[in-house]
Amino acid sequence: MIHLDQYAYGNALRNVHPQEKFFFALATMIICLAANSFVVSLIVILLMAGVSILAGKIPLRFYCKLMLIPAAFLLVGTATIAINIVDNSANLLWGCQIFHVYLGVTNQSLLLAAKLFFRAWGAVSCLYFLSLTTPSVEIIAILRKLKVPELFLDLMSLTYRFLFVLMDRADNIHIAQTVRLGYTDIRKGYRSLGQLVANLFLHSYQRSRDLYTALEARGYQGYFRVLEREYRYSKKNLCLILCLEMLLILIAWRYS
Amino acid sequence: MTTNILEAQQLYFSYPDGTQALAGLSVTIEKGSKVAILGPNGTGKSTFLLHLIGILKPTKGDIFFEQKKLDYRRASLQALRSRVGFVFQDPDNQLFSASVWQEVSFGPMNLGWSKEKVIEQVNLALDLTGTAHLKERPIHALSYGQKKLIAIAGVLAMAPEVIILDEPTASLDPQYTNHILKLLEEINSGGTTVIMATHDVDLAYTWADTLVVMKDGRVLKKGQPVEVFLDDEVLQASSLTKPYVLEIFQQLQRNGYFAEDIMIPRSRQQLLEIIAARGQDLINKRAVAY
Amino acid sequence: MTTNILEAQQLYFSYPDGTQALAGLSVTIEKGSKVAILGPNGTGKSTFLLHLIGILKPTKGDIFFEQKKLDYRRASLQALRSRVGFVFQDPDNQLFSASVWQEVSFGPMNLGWSKEKVIEQVNLALDLTGTAHLKERPIHALSYGQKKLIAIAGVLAMAPEVIILDEPTASLDPQYTNHILKLLEEINSGGTTVIMATHDVDLAYTWADTLVVMKDGRVLKKGQPVEVFLDDEVLQASSLTKPYVLEIFQQLQRNGYFAEDIMIPRSRQQLLEIIAARGQDLINKRAVAY
Amino acid sequence: MIALGLGSFLVMPKAAYAMHIMEGFLPVKWSISWYVLSLPFLIWGLISIQKIIHKEPKYKMLLGLAGAFVFILSALKIPSVTGSCSHPTGVGLGAILFGPTAMTVIGCIVLIFQALLLAHGGITTLGANTFSMGVVGPFASFIIYHGLKRLGGPQWLAVFAAAALGNLLTYVTTSVQLALAFPAATGGFMASLTKFLGVFALTQLPLAISEGLLTVFIFNLLTSY
């Protein structure tokens, strides 16, 4: 996760208007979802990989590793859909009998599962494009433009900021416990982890109070009013994105 | 033309758990001065500082800002905090935003300035602290020293007349310590009053123009660095050690190594210089003798 | 009879984000020595220390404990960690228990000792660190310095043969700094090897018997404190400043103030003493002259 | 500094035991439906939080930190009874500590960052995941905890049941959501639900027990402070 976040700040598309990237990722994702076709899914996967790697300068090896993360859920999830309890063994591609139940894969179920497999992967590649090129701070700014309530956004900012602080602390305590042999068997492991979490909670509580004090000292009046970075729209990018999406819609319409 | 910018009169304060942190503390802070508040851990330094911006309210006693008594109403507190900035010891407790730019703009935005003014001030503060190159970086990717600088920038951007820092150099390596001391020097020479709490006597001796020695929630002594550190009674009562520059100088002077009327050195640099000058002196004398 | 207790051979290590922290670091640590690892922040000091207890595994190179190569299997790591203790810089990131007693007994309990032995060891560690009176206190009610002592006690209670400390005196006031240095002296005189990382040159100069200067993930120089700090090339390359005791002594000696063969002072105390002795000397001479 | 590269145990997830429905898995129809169903709970949560903040401004910081806390909690590896490692959901502990309405909001925020930073879950499935992890789980935990306590059950049992069942019910909901979206050709929703429950029960039951045990540990420590 540290990587995804680091690339968001350090990729080659960092200075492109976040709204352009957000729109591009989301529109493509929705088309991929709605089209539910092999061709569109494959195009989306290739398109997003291409943009992320070539334009965003995300290392190829790292990108491939990322794409494998959801593979496990994908395999289990789609297999569960592909394999069904069937009563007649007529149009089965594959089947087996366990006790009195007959499990099998039909043409239909396999097609459904395979379509789903690629559709989900396509959508994931859109999500990756967004998180690899757009820092969370900018995504919060977009949500502000979309009129998401201020309170929700403030909580989001705080969560994002302190996630790293708490992670450091959790890491440090975990190491401190490890070097004092706290995880040498499962019983000790539970005890140590319980202490870690309890400590983390109390620490969060204390930190929230200290933070309030510090913000009060800087004139906090109930909301996090800050200056957001300004970006310029690029007509070229907007045209490109619109053309791409139109093209995708055409292909989707042709193949479904 | 020394006017008091801040004043505390007979402050008493106890924490909810019963510890009495302040016990009749009175002190005045002159406008434009560089004040170091000294004392070992647990003498109420931080508690006192939090009183100066009205975060803590004394159980007895008063705070005055520009001779005006603080009345703890919302508007007065806001007015006070718009002119007195505070930098906490742990930057992770102070930085709430993930982006450097947003973080530094928080204070100025709260002051209700125009967008242009805010941008100008944020850039000014980033330049002053030498952190303009960090503008696009997320806070969590910064080192401890960088976070500390951003915390200071966030306060400087509000253009305060007084800036208060709690242990600004704790946990920093010598490079960052020097950077921050130079920065504070620069801010002060622009007319801003700088107050810091520290337990580093060497730093306080060299940097401050006024020392406030605290003990048991009270002010034991206030004065110029040399004056305070020559007062052995105060040092003993507050269990402060003498700055090494002063101690070594005094030992050499007792040996008659320097002229009686020599300026007491305030920094390692100065001490080394007067020793070197004395060496030159001896060589010259010897040259004359032959 | 100096045997190596720990040894690093050609360590290379890069963090997942690509930063190379160690680049061919080799060093031996003698049993029973007091080692200070010096270098500015970001030279890989902490990374190196974490290698010594097998928390980080080098991408290339080896660690030896008592001439035996560490093989990173569960049992070997456990054996190593039961004999090498580690104290982190920030006690707040290390202490996780509710009470002092719980915290200090954590390590001994994990060693699988009998209840009597655990109690004995915990009491010993509390006595040694001078924190027996804090036994019943909750951790969060302790001061920063007290927390630091408890963090050390928690490691000492495991009776390690080597104790490694990352910046043990950062953020501490002079009293606690002294207390901890004395404690480390005492532990060391009992035969325990003590290794600390620090960026405080004055402290390292006075306290250590062996210095390891690091730069860019490598060892630039290892040697006795005086030897290392007289090597101007090393100081410049590692941007370390000279300890003030040594610098002032050298300036005085250049002035011809001391005899050529005088012992180089290692501490402020020693420097003051030789200056005072010189003063006495002058008085005696003068007395003879009359 | 140390943590810079370690993340030694808070590492990139190996999603073998993936708990949230992944990006793109649900058809558009169901994506929208779950968004619509979660929304009222989110609004309810925000209103209740706003009310408390009005009286106690510090509460906002606490909830922000709580979000970070739950995120870290759900990234911890707990040794499972079966020997494998897994992540707790934090649903039970969170519901007891912060209340179920606040947990809807916290849960949703945590899910957004899990999607963006860990590729765990997704944007199109955020509604569905919020409903299972932020609504069903916390409310179930909360009711179980207070119900058992009212019935005079011991504290540890209430905590254990709330955490374990909260975890389990979250996955039952996920199974329902998947079965609704992908009914079997023969047997429809029920047949599909059996399949998904079967797969999840195998993996999730021991994990639910692990989380229950850990939460009891944590809770005992918290009350001892």
pLDDT value of residue D153: 87
pLDDT value of residue D85: 63
| Among the partner residues D23, D218, D221, nearest to A120 by beta-carbon distance | D23
Whether the CB-CB separation of A60 and A53 falls below 8 Å is answered with yes
Read off the pLDDT of residues C72-116 as tens digits, 9 standing for 90 and up. Answer: 999 999 999 999 999 999 898 889 998 999 999 999 999 999 999
- B neighbour chains, 3+ CB pairs within 8 Å: A, C
Q: What is the mean pLDDT of each run of 10 residues along chain B (290 residues)?
A: 88 90 95 93 89 95 95 93 95 92 94 94 96 92 93 96 94 88 95 95 95 95 96 92 95 90 94 92 77
Read off the pLDDT of residues D119-138 as tens digits, 9 standing for 90 and up. Answer: 888 999 999 999 999 999 99
- Beta carbons within 8 Å of A3's beta carbon, 6+ residues apart: A62, C16, C17, D12
Residue whose tokens read 């073998």: D16
A6 lies within 8 A of chain C by CB: yes
In this complex, do A127 and D23 lie within 8 Å of one another by their Cβ atoms? yes
Neighboring chain C residues of D6 at a CB cutoff of 8 Å: 55-56
What is the identity of the amino acid at C200?
D
A2 lies within 8 A of chain C by CB: yes
pLDDT value of residue A10: 87
**Residue at A19 is within a domain:** yes
pLDDT at D80 over 70: no
Residue A72 pLDDT level (bands cut at 50, 70, 90): confident
Chain A segment 138-197 residues within 8 A of C by beta carbon are: 168-169, 172-173, 175-182, 184, 188, 195-196
- Beta carbons within 8 Å of B215's beta carbon, 6+ residues apart: B39, B43, B237, B238
Whether the CB-CB separation of C176 and C207 falls below 8 Å is answered with no
Closest residue, chain C, to D4 (C-alpha): C15
∠ CA C222-C227-C228, nearest 5°, is 50
Read off the pLDDT of residues A136-189 as tens digits, 9 standing for 90 and up. Answer: 999 999 999 999 999 999 999 999 999 999 999 999 999 999 999 999 888 898
Residue D17 pLDDT level (bands cut at 50, 70, 90): very low
Closest CA to D134 of D186, D179, D70, D195: D70
Instruction: Give me the percent of chain C exceeding a pLDDT of 70.
Output: 99
Residue D13 pLDDT level (bands cut at 50, 70, 90): very low
Long-range contacts of C228-236 (CB under 8 A, 24+ apart): C229/C201, C229/C205
Mean pLDDT of chain C: 92
Q: Quote the domain boundaries for residue A195.
A: 149-218
The D-side interface with C (CB below 8 A) comprises 1-2, 4-8, 221, 224-225
CA distance D136 to A46: 37
In this complex, do B275 and C252 lie within 8 Å of one another by their Cβ atoms? yes
Same domain, A44 and A162: no
What is the pLDDT averaged over residues C27-39? 95
DSSP code of residue B88: -
Rounded to a whole number, what is the distance in Å from the CA of C275 to chain B's nearest CA?
Answer: 7
Neighboring chain A residues of B118 at a CB cutoff of 8 Å: 227
Closest residue, chain D, to C51 (C-alpha): D2
- Work out how many CB contacts closer than 8 A connect A with B: 100
- Beta carbons within 8 Å of D205's beta carbon, 6+ residues apart: D168
D119 lies within 8 A of chain A by CB: yes
DSSP code of residue A219: T
Residue D205 pLDDT level (bands cut at 50, 70, 90): confident
CA distance C11 to A225: 48
Neighboring chain D residues of C15 at a CB cutoff of 8 Å: 4-5
Neighboring chain C residues of D1 at a CB cutoff of 8 Å: 41, 46
What is the pLDDT averaged over residues A117-124? 94
- Residue C64: strand pairing partners: C7, C69
CA distances from C21 to B71, C44, C220, C222, D123 (A): 54, 5, 15, 19, 37
**Residue at A245 is within a domain:** yes
What is the pLDDT averaged over residues D194-212? 84
pLDDT value of residue A112: 87
Domain C4-227: assigned CATH number = 3.40.50.300
Of residues C254 and D83, more confidence is placed in C254
Residue D206's Cβ-count burial label (10 Å; 0-12, 13-18, 19+) is: middle
pLDDT at A1 over 80: no
**Residue at A185 is within a domain:** yes
CA distance A26 to D117: 17
pLDDT value of residue C1: 54
Read off the pLDDT of residues C8-24 as tens digits, 9 standing for 90 and up. Answer: 999 999 987 778 899 99
pLDDT value of residue B149: 96
The least confident of A72-86, D85-99, D131-145 is A72-86
- Beta carbons within 8 Å of C69's beta carbon, 6+ residues apart: C62, C63
| Among the partner residues B176, B201, B248, nearest to C271 by beta-carbon distance | B248
pLDDT value of residue B217: 93
pLDDT value of residue D14: 42
Read off the pLDDT of residues D20-47 as tens digits, 9 standing for 90 and up. Answer: 898 999 999 999 999 999 999 999 999 9
Whether the CB-CB separation of C194 and C165 falls below 8 Å is answered with yes
Strands B20-30 and B34-38: unpaired
In this complex, do D4 and C19 lie within 8 Å of one another by their Cβ atoms? yes
Residue C140 pLDDT level (bands cut at 50, 70, 90): confident
What is the pLDDT averaged over residues C244-248? 95
**Residue at A169 is within a domain:** yes
CA distance A209 to B277: 55
Same domain, A182 and A63: no
pLDDT value of residue C16: 76
- Whole-model pTM: value is 0.92
Chain A segment 8-67 residues within 8 A of C by beta carbon are: none
To which H or E segment does residue C126 belong?
helix C115-129
pLDDT value of residue D11: 38
Residue D2 pLDDT level (bands cut at 50, 70, 90): very low
Same domain, A250 and A172: no
CA torsion A250→A253→A255→A256, rounded to 10°?
A: 160
Question: For an interface test with A, which of C55, C96, C147, C166 has the most A Cβ atoms less than 10 Å from its Cβ?
Answer: C96
Same domain, A39 and A115: yes
**Residue at A66 is within a domain:** yes
**Domains in chain B: boundaries:** 4-227, 243-289
CA distance B214 to B228: 12
Same domain, A176 and A245: no
Instruction: Give the count of domains, chain A.
Output: 2
In this complex, do C138 and D225 lie within 8 Å of one another by their Cβ atoms? yes
Of residues D8 and B162, more confidence is placed in B162
Same domain, A120 and A21: yes
What is the pLDDT averaged over residues C165-181? 89
Closest CA to C58 of A105, C50, C66: C50
